[in-house]
Chains A and B, each alone.
Chain A
């Protein structure tokens, strides 16, 4: 199973774009990249997913490299409510890992 590597923590200034990287160098050709976030102790919330093309929705954008070995989640205008732990996973229904704790700085 493909595993992911994320930085344990990041800070971002309020109003700026938050760029969260994820390395998934062992991803297989038919595995999607999913991003979830967990605010405080709530259940994780789905953000976005993609296979090979860049994706955008009302919450975020997902940029996947051409070789699919890494991706970046972009929150275009971060707000204080975006402070959370962000998880990148490449096998939808398995272990989440420890994610990146994103802190938005006022």
Chain B
């Protein structure tokens, strides 16, 4: 099992550009989520999904869109990048039972100029 994979590892964007961060998992997990981590800070939840076709907002959803067409994939779209979105983005997956723990991907380091 590859676990949770994220692409790209690094990305530089100009203000106003759009892009999609990819996340995939091969553990047949129903739950997937996206976090951002700013320098010296903890992780903040952006969006999450409890299964294909179901998504919901987390703590900091503005400026981001998600969709979940398959169990395996959960892409995060930046609609119009802003410097405030410079951060490290982590994707995670878990089963949906109450005690299922999360498995995290290696992260995507995004810089918006």
Contact = CB atoms under 8 A, between A and B. Distances in A.
Given A43-B106, A43-B107, A34 B101 contact: yes
B52 interface: no
Interface in A47-106: 49, 87, 92-99
B101 A49 contact: yes
B104 A43 contact: yes
Contacts of A92: 94, 98-102
Interface size class of B (residues with CB under 8 A): 20 to 34
Interface string A30-46: 10101010000111111
B102 A95 contact: no
A99 B104 CA distance: 17
- Interface residue range, chain A: 20 to 34
B102 A97 contact: no
Given A93-B94, A96-B35, A46 B102 contact: yes
A43 B90 contact: yes
A98 B44 CA distance: 10
A94 B59 contact: yes
Interface of B: 4, 31, 33, 35, 40-45, 48, 58-59, 88, 90, 92, 94, 98-107
Contacts of A96: 35, 42-44
B43 A93 contact: no
Given A42-B107, A43-B105, 9 more contacts: A30-B98, A43-B92, A43-B104, A44-B90, A46-B101, A87-B42, A92-B99, A94-B45, A99-B42
Contacts of B45: 93-95
26 contacts: A36-B102, A41-B88, A41-B107, A42-B106, A43-B90, A43-B104, A43-B107, A44-B43, A44-B90, A44-B102, A44-B104, A46-B103, A49-B101, A92-B94, A92-B100, A93-B102, A94-B58, A94-B59, A95-B42, A95-B59, A96-B35, A96-B43, A97-B42, A98-B40, A98-B41, A99-B42
